Amino acid sequence: MLGAIAGDVIGSIYEWDNVKSKEFELFSSKSRFTDDSVLTIATMDSVLHGNTFEESYKKWFWKYPGAGFSGNFKKWAISNEPYYGFSNGSAMRVSPVGYFCDSLEEVLRMAEDSSAVTHNHPEGIKGAKAVASAIYLAKNGATKKELKDYVEKTFGYELGESIDSIRKWYSFDVSCQGSVPQAIISFMDSDSYEDAVRNAISIGGDSDTIACITGGLAEAYYKEIPEYITERVMGILPDEMKEVLQRFYDEVYSRWMKQ
Ligand SMILES: [Mg+2]
């Protein structure tokens, strides 16, 4: 969703140049979309058109092979074999699943399917399921306390630490178990979409992906993204990505917003 994509774009200039602070420029002339946005769009494309996740991830990878994909993912795009991944790659692309499905059971099943084509390690699958289900609960009006209790109980992530505390020790960790809990806490400790994304980037690490995960969740909960962010991000996205995004909002997002 745009919340995830905007997080990726905002984080794109901080992944290799971490800021351990919430005071930073949201955009620069170097801000760009990365693999996280490309695969989030691919997930939307897949659920909208009924293509398999495998087909869709490959199709979109080949459109933007230089967007920042990992070596493992590139090898998979040629070879086909899942690589037992447990990196946050399974969690950063899953946000549309949380919006698309009509029940928690369906969310968990589809999140697992989307992960397993590449990230068939239990931690990779767990990361995708945790993010997608948290988004599903947030979009349906769960409180932060309910979200926290569900994720801790179901997935065993510990979400009790504050962002100010995490910022002191956190460093680069692309595993699901070493970045998904921090991304969820970035949302928990926030009071708006922008505040959540600032939290996510302020801890350092894999900033584009953490902010992408946090941004998807924050959008589902706060249900609004400031216009100065959406306008800037839409200006960066190519038309074919915007078309998929628009269709997803028209067909899926608006459906539950009306409920
Ligand atoms: Mg990336």
Ligand 1 centre distance from Cα of residue 111 (Å) = 19
More confident residue, 51 or 81: 51
Q: Which of 72-86, 95-109, 155-169, 222-236 has the lowest mean pLDDT?
A: 72-86
Kindly state the DSSP code that residue 53 receives in the 8-state scheme.
H
What is the pLDDT at residue 259? 56
Q: Cα dist. 160→84, 142, 174, 216 in Å? A: 29, 18, 21, 21
Distance (angstroms) between ligand 1 centre and the Cα of 87 equals: 12
C-alpha to C-alpha distance for 20 and 244, rounded to whole angstroms: 34
The alpha carbon of 242 and the centre of ligand 1 are apart by a number of angstroms equal to 18
H-type alpha helices, the chain = 2-11, 35-49, 53-63, 71-79, 89-92, 95-100, 104-116, 122-139, 144-155, 163-169, 180-188, 193-202, 207-222, 227-236, 239-248, 254-257
Specify the pLDDT at position 82: 87
Report DSSP letters for 148-196, one per residue: HHHHHHHH-----S-HHHHHHH-----BSTTTHHHHHHHHHT-SSHHHH
3-state secondary structure of 87: strand
Domains and CATH numbers, the chain: 2-17+25-248 (1.10.4080.10)
Tell me the three state secondary structure of residue 99.
helix
Q: Which residue, among 53, 106, 44, 91, has the nearest Cα to 249 in the 3D structure?
A: 44
What confidence score (pLDDT) does residue 232 get?
97
Q: What does the pLDDT read at residue 257?
A: 65
Mean pLDDT, residues 228-251 taken together: 96
Distance of CA 259 from the midpoint of ligand 1 (Å) = 34
Other CB atoms within a 10 A radius of the CB of residue 109 amount to 15
pLDDT for 199-230, tens place per residue? 999 999 999 999 999 999 999 999 999 999 99
Please check whether residue 184 is in contact with residue 7, taking contact to mean a CB–CB distance below 8 angstroms: no
- Ligand 1: distance of its center to the CA of 68 in Å? 5
To 10 degrees, what angle do helices 2-11 and 35-49 make?
170
10-37 confidence digits (pLDDT tens): 999 999 899 999 999 999 999 999 999 9
Ligand 1 centroid from CA 140, angstroms: 28
Backbone angles phi and psi of 87, in degrees to 5: -75, 170
- This prediction's pTM: 0.96
Task: Specify the 3-state DSSP secondary structure of 33.
Answer: coil
Expressed in angstroms and rounded, the spacing between residue 90 Cα and the centre of ligand 1 is 12
Rounded distance from Cα 11 to ligand 1 centre (Å): 9
Q: Cα of 35 to ligand 1 centre, how many Å?
A: 5
Calculate how far, in angstroms, residue 128's C-alpha sits from the geometric centre of ligand 1. 16
Q: What is the pLDDT of residues 94-147, one digit of tens each?
A: 999 999 999 999 999 999 999 999 999 999 999 999 999 999 999 999 999 999
Predicted pLDDT at 79: 84
pLDDT of residue 254: 76
Q: Which two tokens stand for residue 43?
A: 């997930």
Supply the pLDDT for residue 113.
96
Query: Tens digit of pLDDT for each residue in 168-184?
Result: 999 988 999 999 999 99
Ligand 1 center–CA 161 separation, angstroms: 25
Residue 252 confidence (pLDDT): 87
Give the C-alpha separation, 82 to 170, whole Å. Answer: 29
The pLDDT, as a whole number, for residue 258 is: 60
3-state secondary structure of 259: coil
Q: How far is the CA of 144 from the centre of ligand 1 (A)?
A: 27
Residue 34 Cα to ligand 1 midpoint, Å, equals: 5
